[in-house]
Structure 1
């Protein structure tokens, strides 16, 4: 699931450990803080899932400028 453009211009990206392909991206600020209250229920669940799998199935997140 890819989140829509972040108002701040940044997204927090989680990639698949096996091949490095992006799995999830969530709007965040420049420091990588995600406002969970602004996410839909599905996005919030995906965010928590991606965080729980860091180092197991997903990489540690990276802050990137949104396109």
Structure 2
């Protein structure tokens, strides 16, 4: 059943990118919509934990996230 739901879910055209403040070129990216909304239910447990962590440490470890086109 999960595979069927996954196939019906449209591919994200954008990513919410959190750039590291201390390690240039490093960061975290999550699929999102045009406004930067991330579907938490679509993320794996680990990705969800990383997303919530990145949000919690904006300004301390990560810059304010940017919505960018998915590559």
Same fold (TM over 0.5): yes
The structure with more radius of gyration? 2
Task: Give ranges in structure 2 of 5+ residues lacking alignment.
Answer: 1-9
More helix by share: 2
Whole-angstrom distance in 2 between the partners of 1:22 and 1:62: 14
The runs of 5 or more residues in structure 1 that have no matched partner are 1-5
The residue aligned with 1:18 is 22
Specify the alignment match of 1:3 in structure 2: none
What is the aligned-residue RMSD (CA, Å)?
A: 1.5
> Which of 29, 33, 42 matches 2:37?
33
- Runs of 4+ aligned structure 1 residues displaced above 3 Å come to none
1:21 aligns to what SS in structure 2? coil
TM-score (norm 1): 0.84
